[in-house]
Amino acid sequence: MDLRIGFGYDMHRLQKGRELWLGGIKIEHERGLAGHSDADVLIHAICDALLGAANQRDIGFHFPDSSGEYEDIDSKILLKETYRLIQEKGYQLGNIDVTVCAEQPKLNPYIPQMQQTLAAILETDVDNISIKATTSEKMGFVGREEGIAAYAVTLIRKK
């Protein structure tokens, strides 16, 4: 069986006047993530992990921030297209494991809904989507609540 592992990382600044989207769901918070798209760091990290596992470069290559086509785009659309790209190469999802680093808001109450949303997009069982939330113990840009970061690893296999 041909198995491949991919790793993804993304971070965005927090900014007033933006909505906060993580894992494909809107989370009530006084600031959202700044970016060309909806800046969903969780989904962007997953996209990079999937693309990396399939040796398909990265999210910026496929969905450049220099293109007006992707301005304010819903990252769920980017994830669906990313998954289509790896399927075209003959791969299917094994599992995903994500860690989101944020001081605020507390994300644990939202994790089940994020898992369900992502599982639906990726046409997989919720059990194949692991999401964990942590803080950075008040250290660094995450600790100062300047931004949010996400790390993702994924396993894909040949169909």
β-pair type (31-33, 147-158): unpaired
Q: 94, 50 in Cβ contact below 8 A?
A: no
Using the predicted structure, report yes or no on whether residue 1 has a pLDDT greater than 70: no
pLDDT of residue 109: 96
At which residue do the structure tokens 């007006």 appear? Answer: 68
User: What value does the mean pLDDT take over residues 96-110?
Assistant: 97
Residue 143: C-alpha distances to residues 9, 13, 21, 83 (Å): 17, 12, 19, 32
CA–CA gap between residue 131 and residue 96 (Å, rounded):
8
- Amino acid of residue 87: Q
Mapped onto helix, strand or coil, the DSSP state of residue 44 is: helix
The first and second tokens of residue 100, run together, are 């989101």
pLDDT of residue 142: 96
The CATH classification of domain 3-158, taken from the options 3.40.50.720, 3.40.50.300, 3.40.50.1100, 3.30.1330.50: 3.30.1330.50
Residue 107: C-alpha distances to residues 17, 23, 56, 93, 102 (Å): 20, 10, 30, 25, 8
**Helix pair angle (111-121, 75-88), 10° resolution:** 40
Question: pLDDT for 48-99, tens place per residue?
Answer: 999 999 999 999 888 877 777 778 789 999 999 999 999 999 999 999 999 9
CA–CA gap between residue 131 and residue 30 (Å, rounded):
23
